[in-house]
Amino acid sequence: MPCTLPSVRILNLPVHDVNMESALTAIDSFIKSRTPHHVVTADASMLVMAQEDPALHGIIGRADLVTPDSVGILWAAKRQGTPLRERVSGVDIVENLCARSASSGYRIFFFGAAPGIADKAADRMRAKYPGTQIVGTRNGFYKDTDVEAIVQQIKDSRADVVCVAMGIPKQEKWIEANRDRLDASILIGVGGTLDVLSGTTRRAPRWMQRLALEWLWRVINNPKKISKVLLLPRFVTMVRRAS
Ligand code: UDP
């Protein structure tokens, strides 16, 4: 079912003008349709990568829902005169789906992150939201020859929602390659969400998020993230040139 939500274009890619409530309503209708839908949580680094990666560009263009997952995206939208309502992050979507899973009956699968992390995230979500249905987990480090077994594990779990947490663009490409054989309605790439939900990494404090300093928090906590952060000035330059 095509998404009827309004969208804007940033660097020639669509981003939907959603808030958390309308994103969850769209996800709800995707699940009811019982056909696979790809939800992309787009940040500035993803849009930069997509300029040099035609496969990623195509995947974002075909996605059923693209949420604005960074203040950089909000900045770009405002600058070009097509403001977006609010940030709708992967972590918040997954947490909201877990919170609603007991009453909605939606079955959720956590796929990604280092061994043990998805299980820990599942345990924490079950403790926080009693009755939440996390119906399977699998870490995100595997050999190509393991893919068939992973697909079968997800199918056997009868998950409605598969959260794929392997970083950009690996998660988007995995979803694109496997979306039609998982029997799931929502495939969503969620980056470091399982690390956050498991309590392994802490999210930036609210005041840092408000001041658009989440990138600084990430680099302080994980210096390997510097390569991703270095895409931000390129994003700013690209958006300035385009508008
Ligand atoms: N990861 C994974 N498989 C891989 C590479 C990474 O499961 O082959 C996981 C990694 O452990 C981490 C997540 O993917 O939990 C990437 O998080 P990050 O915040 O870097 O994602 P991004 O910034 O790309 O959204």
Question: With 90 as the cut, is the pLDDT of residue 43 above it?
Answer: yes
Cβ-proximal residues to 142 (8 Å cutoff; 6+ apart), any chain: 150
Q: How far, in Å, is the centroid of ligand 1 from the Cα of 127?
A: 24
Residue nearest to atom 4 of ligand 1 (CA): 166
Task: Kindly state if the Cβ of 192 falls inside 6 Å of ligand 1.
Answer: yes
Does the pTM of the predicted model rise above 0.85?
Answer: yes
Question: With 60 as the cut, is the pLDDT of residue 1 above it?
Answer: no
Cβ count near 141 (within 10 Å): 11
Q: Are strands 107-112 and 161-165 parallel, antiparallel or unpaired?
A: parallel
Question: With 90 as the cut, is the pLDDT of residue 108 above it?
Answer: yes
Task: Kindly state if the Cβ of 216 falls inside 6 Å of ligand 1.
Answer: no
pLDDT of residue 3: 63
Q: Is 49 within the bounds of a domain?
A: yes
In tens, the pLDDT along 4-37 reads 899 999 999 999 999 999 999 999 999 999 999 9
Q: Is 45 within the bounds of a domain?
A: yes
pLDDT of residue 243: 79
Q: Is 2 within the bounds of a domain?
A: no
Task: Kindly state if the Cβ of 66 falls inside 6 Å of ligand 1.
Answer: no
Whole-number average pLDDT of the chain: 95
Nearest ligand 1 atom to alpha carbon 112:
7
Residue nearest to atom 1 of ligand 1 (CA): 166
User: How many domains, in total, are found in the chain?
Assistant: 1
Its domain, for residue 93, covers 7-242
Encode 43-68: b = buried (16+ Cβ within 10 Å), e = exposed: bbbbbbbbeebeebbebbeebbbbbb
In tens, the pLDDT along 69-106 reads 999 999 999 999 999 999 999 999 999 999 999 999 99
Q: How far, in Å, is the centroid of ligand 1 from the Cα of 67?
A: 19
Cβ count near 199 (within 10 Å): 12
Q: How far, in Å, is the centroid of ligand 1 from the Cα of 114?
A: 8
Q: Is 117 within the bounds of a domain?
A: yes
